[in-house]
Amino acid sequence: MALRLADEEIIPFDYMSYTTELEAYTKVVEKETEGTTVSCSPLYNSIRALKKAATKVNSERKDIQRELSSKQLSKDSMRIRGLNDRLMQAERAFTNREGIFKQAWYKHLIYGPSEQNDWDTASYPGIADAIATARSSNTSASWKLVQHEVHRVARAVAQASAVLSGSLT
């Protein structure tokens, strides 16, 4: 993996597959919060924006690769640098300096350990931990906290899509 990252002209991050995974994780959250006041609409909306940005990036990547192979573009082009910068920054957008719910030292809002299982990687770990807490206490405030975590993740996904599309640097 490190060798591939080092040798590729364009960083091989695939945000289209990322959106498919995010949609699947959101369906799980939706199922786990069924019958509560929690809405997954913010997640679905931000994932749609990310999918649109990822489509644009994939098209841009193909154009650049075609120009590279036909020698119309040099390997040190600022277009390549700009695309690579956006790809890296988009991944950073999924982090939050406050960290995830109950485990502030973990910064990635999409993947990380869950409080229920330190050894396995959880999807939306902050949301998963908030759901577990809400289930055990079953108070209005605890379900509002789940909604808050959903909004935090949705904002991170929206920020990643803004970075990918070039509207936020």
Determine the pLDDT at residue 138.
92
Instruction: Extract the residue ranges of the chain whose pLDDT is less than 70.
Output: 1-7, 116-120, 169
pTM: 0.89
Residue corresponding to tokens 């799980």: 28
Amino acid at 145: L
Determine the pLDDT at residue 135.
94
Which class does domain 15-165 fall in?
Answer: mainly alpha
The residues spanned by each domain of the chain are 15-165
Give backbone dihedrals phi and psi of 112, rounded to 5 degrees, phi first: 170, 180
Helix (H, G, I), strand (E, B) or coil at 122: strand
